[in-house]
A and B are shown apart, each in its own frame.
Chain A
C-alpha cells in the first residue's frame, strides 16, 4: 500500500515495477543468520513506544503515514506470547533432560526413562515448530516495528510550516522564465534530463566556490572536515529510516561478483559522500569517548537521490529535481541530554542562518510540519529560497533533529565510565548547489552574464 502511494505521488520516470519483498537488511532472524551474516543487531525499544499508544497514533496520523499502529501492537503482543510459549517449552525440555539424567544416575528405572524420553521427543518437536513460527512472525513484525517513525518534537508544527526567520521577500517579484532557459541564455547550463546536466564556466566555479565557502565557514564553528565514502549498504540505508528496497529513495547498484560479499539483502547503494547514510556508515557500531562530544563533522561532495520531493507537485523541476547534487552535509553527535542536543541544534541553525545572510540572497527559515518530515526526523528547520518560475519556496538546505532514532538502529554510542549510551544526533544538508543555483539564476534573470550577479565580496574572494 505504501509503495503504491509513493508511485502515485512521485512519478518515477526511470522505474519499472518495484518488487516489495519485505526483507529487512537490519533485522536478521535466526533461520537466516546461518546463511547470511548479521551485520548489526539493532536495539528495539518499541515497548516504550507502545506504552503511549495515543501519542504514537497521533504521530503517525500527523505524518500522514499509512501505518495501523494498533495492528502493529497486537501482532507484537502475539509475538511476545509466542516467545513466552517457546520459552516455556524450552524450559520443559531442559527439565526433562535433567530428570532423565537424575534417574539414570540414581535408580535407573528404564520404563520411567522411556516415558520421559518420549515426552521429551514430543516437546522437542513442538519446540521446533514454535521456533519456526516465531521466526516467521518476527520477520513480519520487525519490519513493521522498524518502519515506525521517530517521535515528534514539540516544536514541530502540526499543520503548516512555521516561519522562524525571514530575510528579504522575493515572493513579491514577478514570475520569470525557468532557470534552465536563463542558464542556457547565459551559456552556463546545459540541462538534458534530471540525470544529466552540465554546469559551465562561471557556474562550474560557483559550484566549487559555494561548497568551499559553506564548509570553510562551518569549520570556523568547530566542525571537522571529512571526505566520505559514496556507497552505503542496505543495512545503513535502512538504519537511517529509509526504505532500502525502494529504488526511488536511493540508487541501488547491480550486484556483481566483486561487490557481493553477503547475500542478496545487503546490497550496495549509491548515496554520495555528502549524505546522511555515509556519515552513519562511519559511526555505526562504534563508541565515542564522552570527552569528544559534541562531535561536529562536515563533508562536501555528491549527494545522489533518484527522486526529490518538491514542495509543489509540478512536473517540471529543472535543477530542483536533479538526481546528482553537490552538497555540504553535517553530522553532530551529542551526549544523552536533551538540552545538549537542542543547544547544538539552535547553535547550528543560527550559524547556517548567518552564512546564508552573508550570501545576500533573500531566504527564510521555517520549521516543517509533521507531514513533510522524514521517518528519522523529529524536527526539521528548512532553509528556503523563492523560485520565481515555480512561484513557490524551494528548500536549499536543512538542519534536523534525529535524536536517538538512528543511533539505536545502528548502535552509535558514547561511553561514560563503564556505561554505554546512545548518542543524540543532529544532521543536515547545509546547501544543495543546483537548487541554490536555480533560485539565484531566476532572481537575476536580467543579468547579462553570470559574473555580473551580485555576490558579496567575501564570497567572491573565495570563489575567484
Chain B
C-alpha cells in the first residue's frame, strides 16, 4: 500500500512535469540524421597526451591506432592539398579518431587484470539438499520449453509457460515501479534502429563475429539492426537534442525486447544464461559534464537494493580496463550467486560513458552560467535482465520438495501467490518426427 501511495505521488509529480513541458516546448525539433561526431581534437591530437592515449588503448581491448590519427592530422595541416584530397583525408581521419576508446577512470587504471570486488551483499543460501539447476527445476515443474525449437523458431529459442511467464511480468512491474519511485521517466522504445545509431553507441556492426542481427539489406532500404539493448534506442531518442540544465540529471527507463546474435559454447553459459532474445528493463542517465560519477553510484545502489530485496546473494565488481567496452569510462558489474550452477553469474552492469556517446550523437546542454553549449555525459545500466534474474531466483528460492518460493516483493504482482509449483494446466506434448499416420499409409499404397 505504501509503495502504491509513493508511486501515486511520484506519478503526480511526473504528470505535473509533463504538463509544464507541454506548455513550454523543451526540446527543439529534432532532425533524424545521425550527426558527424564532434570529437575532442584538442585532446586526441595533442602530443602531450599521445603516450597516455596509447597506454589506454593497450590496456583496453587494443582497438584504435593513435599513430594513424596523428599522421592524418599532420597531413591535414598541409595547405597545398587539393579539395578532393582534403575531403578524403578528413574522412579517413574521422574514422580513425572515432575508434579511439574513451578514457579510463584513474582509480580503475590502477587495477591489474582482474575486477575488484567492491561490495558483497547477503550470504550463500545453505541448502540441506542438493540444489538443482534452473533447467532441471523448469523441467520438473513444467515451466519452460527449449527442445526441438531450432527448426521452427531459431537456435536457442525458448518459451516460458504459466507461472514462469507470470514471474517475468512480475519482475518487470516490480522493477518499473521501483524506478518510477526513484525519479525515472518511463519511455517505450523501438527495437529496430538504423545501424548508424548502434555504431555511434560504440558497437561495431559489420564485423564477422557481430553481436547484432540485421534486416536483409537486399530487401529493406537502408541498414536496419535489431537493438541489443534499450540503451541504443534511448541514446537515439536524445540524439541532436539540446537539453536544458534544469532537466539534468535526466533519468530514463525503458522496457524492451533485446536481440543479441552472440553465441557461446562455454558450458557455464548453457541453458538460458545466454540467449538471443530476452526482455530487459534498462536505465539511462544524462548529466552535466562533471556529475556522471555521482549518478553512476546512484544507479549501482539502486540495482543492489533491487536485487537484494529479492533475496539474492550479490557481489559488485569494479571492472578492470580490458573488460571495458569502447564507450565506457567506468563499469560496475553485479553478479548474483546461482546455487544450482555453483557460480556467480552477471545479472547487471552499469557504465559511465562520459562524453563518448554524446559527442557522436550530438547530445548537448546549455550550462547554468550561459556560454556555449557543452556535451552532456551519458550513463546506462541494467535494471533487470529477465533470464539471468529468473535463473538466480529459481535456484536460490527452490525448496526440497521441488517447488519454488516466490520472493515477497514479487507476490503482489503474481496475485498474491506464495509458491510456484507444477504447472498441471500445461500438458506434456509428444514430439513426433515422422509424417502424419494417414500420409504414411497413403505413401505405402
Contacts and interface: CB of A to CB of B under 8 A. Distances in A.
B173 A195 contact: no
A283 B145 CA distance: 11
B186 A204 contact: yes
B154 A259 contact: yes
A236 interface: yes
Interface stretch (B347-355, B369-377, B404-412, B430-438): B430-438
Contacts of A200: 18, 185-188
Interface string A161-187: 000000000000000000000000111
A190 B237 contact: yes
B432 A411 contact: yes
Interface stretch (B97-105, B332-340, B420-428): B420-428
Contacts of A450: 15, 18
Interface stretch (B53-61, B64-72, B108-116, B189-197): B189-197
Interface stretch (A140-148, A285-293, A334-342, A354-362): A285-293
A282 B216 contact: no
B222 A14 contact: yes
B159 A228 contact: yes
A450 B204 CA distance: 39
B152 A415 contact: no
A236 B152 contact: yes
B176 A464 contact: no
A87 B426 CA distance: 45
Interface centre among A222, A295, A464 (most CB of B within 10 A): A464
A287 B430 contact: yes
Given A195-B192, A202-B18, A451-B15, A258 B261 contact: yes
Contacts of A258: 155, 261, 263
Nearest to B428: A289
B257 A232 contact: no
Given A226-B159, A247-B220, A326 B215 contact: no
A226 B430 contact: no
Given A15-B221, A281-B152, A449-B19, A292 B427 contact: yes
Nearest to B32: A192
B218 interface: yes
B432 A287 contact: yes
Contacts of A306: 220
Interface stretch (B40-48, B75-83, B160-168): B160-168
Contacts of A198: 187-190, 233, 237
Contacts of B162: 224-226
Interface in A271-287: 273, 278, 280-287
Contacts of A292: 426-427
Interface stretch (B6-14, B133-141, B290-298, B391-399): B6-14
A292 B160 CA distance: 18
Grouping DSSP codes into helix (H, G, I), strand (E, B) and loop, the B interface class, with mixed when no group exceeds half, is mixed
B149 A187 contact: no
What bracket does the count of chain A residues touching chain B fall in? 35 or more
B401 interface: no
A86 to B, nearest CB: 13
Interface centre among B11, B18, B162, B208 (most CB of A within 10 A): B18
A188 B433 CA distance: 50
B226 interface: yes
Contacts of B366: none
Contacts of B236: 196
B161 A224 contact: yes
A88 interface: no
Given A285-B432, A287-B432, A324 B191 contact: yes
A212 B236 CA distance: 28
B186 A201 contact: yes
Interface string A430-452: 00000000000000000011110
B153 A252 contact: no
Given A262-B151, A278-B153, A195 B221 contact: no
Given A14-B221, A289-B427, A229 B277 contact: yes
Contact of A464 (B11, B222, B257, B437): B11
A389 B221 CA distance: 30
Interface string A195-239: 111111111110110001001000000101111111111011000
A256 B210 contact: yes
B3 to A, nearest CB: 11
Contacts of A230: 257, 259, 277
B1 interface: no
A228 B428 CA distance: 17
A286 B148 CA distance: 10
Interface in B154-182: 154-155, 157-162, 164-166, 168-169, 172-173, 176
Nearest to B275: A229
B213 interface: yes
Nearest to A437: B188
B132 interface: no
A22 interface: no
B219 interface: yes
9 contacts: A37-B151, A193-B32, A199-B188, A201-B14, A215-B169, A229-B153, A231-B153, A236-B153, A266-B151
Given A261-B150, A324-B190, 6 more contacts: A197-B190, A235-B152, A252-B219, A256-B213, A285-B432, A448-B19
Interface of B: 4, 7-8, 11, 14-15, 18-19, 21-22, 32, 145, 148-155, 157-162, 164-166, 168-169, 172-173, 176, 185-193, 208, 210, 213-222, 224, 226, 233, 236-237, 255, 257, 259, 261, 263, 276-277, 279, 423, 425-433, 435-439
| Ranked 6 nearest A-B pairs via Cβ | A292-B427, A227-B160, A199-B188, A229-B157, A281-B152, A281-B153
